[in-house]
Structure 1
C-alpha cells in the first residue's frame, strides 16, 4: 500500500466507522476532526518542522539564563531531598521494596537511552520523555508515575533545575542510595517546551505494524502488537546482511532498546544477542559498555507483568481527561503494587533488589534456565533448579518467588563475546563496578556535547574520547590587523572562492544541534576519517589545506607567542571568500570572524565515532551516496540536515541559494546541478531568479524524478540541471514564497545579508566558550 492509498484508507475508516473522540457521530461532529494536510498531501514537505520549540512556546523570560540559574542551585540540598523521596512510599503508587530507586533508574535510563549516534537525536538533553510519542511508548510504561512522584521536588526548586537534569540526577541518586559509586553528574540540559515532531523514529505505525495490520485496541504499543519487523529490518537474523534501517537504533517501534522477549518475540537468545549488539552499537556503546549497562541495570529492582495487557488502559496521550496525563490504568486488584503491569514480564533477577552487588551475573551463570510465561503471558525464564535462590515479593510480607531472566539476559550468556566480558566481571567485581559507572556516565551524558557545556560541582576531571576533546587554547589570539593581513594572503594564494568557501562549509557543517558533535573547532576535517569523505572532495580539500598550512606556518613563524590555529584559519578563509563573492556581486559586507578555536590531534579523535558524522546524503552540496538506499525522499533528508544545523526555513533557503552560486557542490555527476548562474563564485541571487522565472520549464530526466533540466520555453535549449534538492525551493509552497522573496526587487542585497548571518551561525555553532557569539567577532 503506497502513501496515498494508506492515507485514503485511513480517511475512509474514520469517515465510515469512526466517531469524534468527545462528541458527535461523524467526522464532522467536532471542530478539528477534519482530515489534516498529511491526509490530503502525504508527500508534502513539512517545512514548518524547522520551527519547533519556538520562543513563543517558552514561558520563561527571554533573558532567562539556565546556566546562571543552575550555578546558584544548592545541589547537595536537592540531592538530599531526592534521596529522602526515594526511600518513601505513597499510597497512589507504592514503592517496590520500600525504595523508588530502581524505577527511577529506569526513568533516567529510558530518558537517555533514546540517543542514537547516527544523527545524534534522542537522549536526555531536552527531557523529551515528557511528550508524545516517547511518553506513550510501550517501553515507557509507568515512567509517567516516576516523573509525577518527582513533581513536588521540581515544584520546590523551580527553574534552578530543569526536568532534563532532574531526571538524570535522580537516576544517579537512586544508584547512590543502593551503594553504587556513580562516576559524576553534569547539569546543563535545557528543557524543550513542546513535542519533537521532526525526529524519524521508524517506518511502523503507532502499533509497530504496517498500517493495514494495526489493531484498534486500548493497550497502545504493547509488544504483542509489534511483531512485524520487516519495515525497519533487512536480511535474516544471523546472516551477514542482517541490519537495521539508518538512522534508527531501537529494534522495534515503541521500544528504547530491544524486545526483552527476544527478536520478533521468539525467545531465541542467540537472535536477541544480535539485536542487542546492533541496537546498543547504534547508541554508541561497545560490547563491554553494553554488558555493563545490562548487567548493572538488572542488579536492581524488578519487572512487572501481573495483569494481562488487554485489560490495561490507554497510554498517557490517549488517557481520559480525568487521568490528567497518567496512562496505563490497571483495573485489576489495587491497580499497582503487587498487581502492577509494566512490560508484561514478572519478577526480579536477584534476591536483594535494592543493593549493589554481583548477584545478577552470579545467578545468570550459576543456574540453568528454562522458558516460562508471566501472568500477563510474556515469555521469560526461571531456574531449572527448584532449590535456587528466590526473590522476595516487592509488597507482600513473607512471600517470595522464583528468580527471573529475560531472553535478552540469557543472550549475554550464549554470545561468545558477551560471555567473555561477563566472566571477567564475575572474576573482578571492582572492575565491573568501574565499567558500569563509566558506562552509566556515558549513557546519561553522551548527548550533551563537549565537556565545556557541563555544569556543577560533580563534573569529573577526566575527559573521555566520546566527548570529542580539543586542546585548550594556550596562545595569544589574532587581532583585527592580523585578520586583515591573513585575508589578503588567503585571497592572493591562488585558491578560488569556491574552494575556500567549500572547505570552510565542509568543516563547520558537520555540527549537529542534536548532540552538539562536529563543527569547525578542532579542525578534524584535516584528519581521518573526515579528510577522505567523498562529500568533501578529498583532492581539492588536500590542496586547500596544504596551502592554508603554508600561510599558517609563515604567520606563526613571524610572531612571538601569537599564532592562528588551522581550525580558525579554515573558517577565516571561508569568511574572506564570502566577502569577495559579495563584493563581486556589488555588495560590500563584513563577514564576522571570531578566533579562539584550536586543533585536535589524531589521538583525540575516535575514528569510528566520527564515521557516524559522514553524510549519506547532503543537499547542501548536492551529494548522495548511490550505494546507500534511503527510505525517505532526498528533500526530506535535506531538511533533516538543515534541522540538525539549527536553520530556520528562511536561513535554509538563503544558505542554499548562496552555496549554489558559490559553486561548492561535491565533484561528480551532480557537480553542476543547481548552479543556476553564469557567474559561479559570485554571491548573486541568480539561483532564485532562474528558479522562479516563467521563461523556462522544468523537465524530468529520469522516470523517478530525481534529476531535471531547465529548458528555454521557446528554443527548447537546456539552460541548467537540477536535483530534487534544488527544485524543492520552487515546488514547496512555503519555500517558494521565500525563493520569490529573494528573487524580487531588493532581493540581491537582502540575500547577501541573510546568507552572511546564517553562515556565521553555522561557523559559530560549536563555540560554547563564547557566551555572546557575536560580541567577540573581528
Structure 2
C-alpha cells in the first residue's frame, strides 16, 4: 500500500484535524436543523419503540434473561464514558461508538450487536433521531424498563460521519496494552494528559486489575484517578459502578484468544460490519464471549434492587480464574444463586476485581455502606451520576432538548444567571465603546483580555467562552497566561465603565461585564484597523450575563488553563509531561478546540501579533515597527528572505532574526511564529495574507475569525 504524506514524514505537523471544522462530510444539507427535527418527535413513542426491541429476543443474538436492557446500558455507558475533562473530547456526542476506533475497541466487544438490534428504530426515524441520541436514550429506557427511575434525558447530539482524529487515545501501538509512556512516572497512576483510561482500547480500567492481575489496591487507585478524569467524585464513582453492575452479567464462556475473531474494522466483508465472530459452541447465548469473565453479579439481573451492594458487602470473595481464563472473584460460602440467562438452571454470582476494590478501599466502602443503609439515597445518587455521565459532554443547559430535560441544573453544566434587565443596543454599544477607548487601556490590554475570556471555549464539550465573564473569577483570574496583575487593572477599569454606565441609566438597560469585555476587544480591533487605514465594524451581539462563583466549578475549570498559547505567544514552562510532543501540536490542538480552520488559525496568530497582544507585552513575534496597527507585517517578515533565524536555546523554542545584509539583530520570535514560514501548508496560507495586496483581505478575515471566537459560546444565537 502506498504511503501517505504523514507516513513519509511522521514528524510533519498534521493540520488535518482543522479541516473538519470547515467541511460537511455527512450526507445532510447545510439547511438541515437537527434540533428542530428532534423536537418534533413524540418521545414516548420513540421510547416505546426502543422497549419493543429490548424485550423481543432475536435468534441471531439471543437476549440474556429475555431482555436486552443490560446490553443497552453497557452500550450507552461505553458511549458516554469515553468523555474526559482534560480536553473535553470523546463522550456520546456524534455517535462515535459506531465509527473506528471505538467501534472496534476490545472493551466494546459485541456492542456492534446492540446497535444492530436498534437498527429498526433508527431506520424508522432516520436523520431526525441521531445515533448519538438513540444510543443514550436506549440506556435510559433500559434502566426504566427494569424498575429504575431515571433523572431525565436530553437530546441534541448531532451525528458525526467521520472518526474524530483529534482524539489522542494513547502512545501504545497494540490493543489492550499499557505502555510506561501512558503515565507521568512510567508506572500505573498519574495518567498523562489528556488521557483518562489506563489501558489502550478499554473505557476505564482493566476489570481483572492492573496489568491483568487481581490487585485490589491498585485497582481502587486506578478507578479513582480515571473517574476523577471524567469529573466524578467518590460518591458518583461508587454510584455508577454499583448502579451499572446491578444489572446483567459478563460473558466469558471460554478463552477469547482462542475463539473470538477480528473486530468489525478487520472482519470479512460478508459479516456486514459485525465483528468478533465466536467459534465456541454456537457463538452466542450461553456460549457468548465478551470480556472473558463469566457470570452475573446477583440473583436478579434485570431488576433494580440492592442485590449488588448486598452481595459485595455481605460476602467474602476470593480470586479465581474463570472459564474464560480471566481473573474474577467467587464468593466464599453460600450465596443466593442467579437464574441462567438461557436455561432453567441457576449459577453462582461473581465479582470483578474492580468491584472488590470498592470494598477494600476505605473511602469507597464508606459510600457503599451508606448506600446499603439508605437505598433511596443510592437510587438518587445513581440517577444523578448517570444523568451526568450521559450529558457531561453536551455543554450548558440551553443546548438540551426534549420534554424530559430536568428543571434542576448543576454546577457541572456551567449555568448562567438569567438577565433581569434589558440588553444594550447599537446606540449604547457605541457609547460604551467610546467610554472604553477614553480610558488608559491599550489596544493590547483590551485585545488580550477579550481573547483570554473567549478563547477558553472548547467545542469538544461546549465549555468555556466569554459568556459568564468567568475570567474575573477563580481559577481563571489567577492563571499565569492571563497575567493576573495586568488583568486586575483591566477588569477594575472595565468595571468602572460598567458601573458608571449602569448607574446613569433611567431605564432597564444594563451592560454585563461579559459583554463589555468583548466590546472592549472589538473596540481594540477597530482602532487597530483604523491605524492601518481600514474602516471596519466588528460585529457585536449583546446578551451575555455574569456568572457567580457559586455557578462555577472551580476545580473542573482548571482543565481549561492553557499550558501554552500560540495566539498570545505564551510558551509556558515547557516541562509538561503529557502526550503532545511540540509547541506546534499544542497550537493545532487549541485551534481545533476553538473550531478554527487553517486560514482562521493563521490569520488570528498574525492579527494578534499585529495588535501587540503578546504575553507580558514582549516583542516576540511582533514583527512590525507599528504594533497596534492591523497590518500584514507579520506575514511579510516571516516569509521574506531578508532575515536569517537562529535558535537561542537548546529546546529551539526561541529564535533571533538577523538582517542578512547588516548582520544586526532585528527580531525575536518563537516556534509559534516561525512555523508559518517553515510548514508548507501554513506558508501557503500565509502567502495570501503576506502579499502586497493581501492586507485588506487579512483585515477582513481577521475580523471574521475574531468574531467567531468571541461568539463560539453564544448558543442563544443559533
Instruction: Give the TM interval when normalised to the shorter protein.
Output: over 0.9
1:428 and 2:374 are equivalent in the alignment: yes
Structure 1 match to 2:592: 643
CA drift of 1:235 comes to 3.2
Task: Please tell me whether the aligned partners of residues 237 and 274 of structure 1 are also in contact (alpha carbons under 8 angstroms).
Answer: no
The equivalences for 1:442-457 within 5 A come to 442-457=388-403
Mean Cα deviation higher: 693-702 or 748-757:
693-702
The equivalences for 1:471-486 within 5 A come to 471-486=417-432
Distance in 2, Cα, partners of 1:55 & 1:754: 18
Task: Please tell me whether the aligned partners of residues 453 and 466 of structure 2 are also in contact (alpha carbons under 8 angstroms).
Answer: yes
Distance in 1, Cα, partners of 2:329 & 2:9: 48
Distance in 2, Cα, partners of 1:56 & 1:768: 20
Structure 1 match to 2:530: 583
Distance 1:56 1:645, change over 3 A: closer
Distance 1:657 1:249, change over 3 A: same
The equivalences for 1:544-623 within 5 A come to 544-559=490-505, 560-623=507-570
SS in 2 for 1:251: coil
SS in 1 for 2:90: coil
Distance in 2, Cα, partners of 1:284 & 1:47: 29
CA drift of 1:620 comes to 1.6
Structure 1 match to 2:343: 396
Q: Give the alignment partner of residue 181 of structure 2, picking from 223, 228, 231.
A: 231
Distance in 2, Cα, partners of 1:672 & 1:116: 36
Structure 2 match to 1:339: 287
Distance in 2, Cα, partners of 1:621 & 1:203: 29
CA drift of 1:430 comes to 0.3
Structure 2 match to 1:323: 271
Q: Deviations over 1:10-67 (max 9, x none)?
A: xxxxxxxxxxxxxxxxxxxxxxx11222221011111122112764422112211111
Structure 1 match to 2:108: 140
Structure 2 match to 1:491: 437
Task: Please tell me whether the aligned partners of residues 229 and 264 of structure 1 are also in contact (alpha carbons under 8 angstroms).
Answer: no
Structure 2 match to 1:382: 330
CA drift of 1:704 comes to 2.9
Number of residue equivalences: 714
CA drift of 1:599 comes to 0.3
Structure 1 match to 2:702: 755
Structure 2 match to 1:183: 151
Structure 1 match to 2:363: 417
Distance in 1, Cα, partners of 2:661 & 2:587: 33
Distance in 2, Cα, partners of 1:95 & 1:357: 21
SS in 1 for 2:118: helix
CA drift of 1:336 comes to 1.0
Q: Identify which of structures 1 and 2 has the higher relative contact order when contacts are C-alpha pairs closer than 8 Å and 6+ apart.
A: 2
Q: Deviations over 1:698-720 (max 9, x none)?
A: 21222332222111112222211
Q: Give the alignment partner of residue 648 of structure 2, picking from 701, 710, 713.
A: 701
Gaps of 5+ in 2: none
Distance in 1, Cα, partners of 2:200 & 2:652: 31
CA drift of 1:202 comes to 1.0
1:519 and 2:465 are equivalent in the alignment: yes
Q: Give the alignment partner of residue 78 of structure 1, picking from 46, 52, 68.
A: 46
Structure 2 match to 1:215: none
Distance in 1, Cα, partners of 2:26 & 2:373: 51
Distance in 2, Cα, partners of 1:255 & 1:630: 19
Distance in 2, Cα, partners of 1:666 & 1:137: 42
Q: Deviations over 1:123-155 (max 9, x none)?
A: 101111111111111111111110011011000
1:541 and 2:487 are equivalent in the alignment: yes
Structure 1 match to 2:476: 530
Distance in 2, Cα, partners of 1:141 & 1:667: 51
Task: Please tell me whether the aligned partners of residues 683 and 752 of structure 1 are also in contact (alpha carbons under 8 angstroms).
Answer: yes
Q: Give the alignment partner of residue 659 of structure 1, picking from 586, 608, 614.
A: 608
Distance in 1, Cα, partners of 2:94 & 2:666: 47
Distance in 1, Cα, partners of 2:406 & 2:559: 26
Distance 1:261 1:161, change over 3 A: same
Q: Give the alignment partner of residue 634 of structure 1, picking from 553, 573, 583.
A: 583
CA drift of 1:531 comes to 0.5
Distance in 2, Cα, partners of 1:260 & 1:284: 20
Task: Please tell me whether the aligned partners of residues 53 and 192 of structure 1 are also in contact (alpha carbons under 8 angstroms).
Answer: no
SS in 2 for 1:57: coil
Question: Structure 2 length normalisation: TM-score?
Answer: 0.98
Distance 1:341 1:109, change over 3 A: same
CA drift of 1:162 comes to 0.8
Distance in 1, Cα, partners of 2:690 & 2:668: 19
The equivalences for 1:167-246 within 5 A come to 167-205=135-173, 207=174, 221=175, 223=176, 226=177, 228-235=178-185, 242-246=189-193
SS in 2 for 1:231: helix
Q: Deviations over 1:213-249 (max 9, x none)?
A: xxxxxxxx3x4xx2x33120133769xxx41101110
SS in 2 for 1:698: strand
SS in 2 for 1:620: coil
Distance in 1, Cα, partners of 2:256 & 2:352: 18
Mean Cα deviation higher: 169-178 or 154-163:
154-163
1:364 and 2:312 are equivalent in the alignment: yes
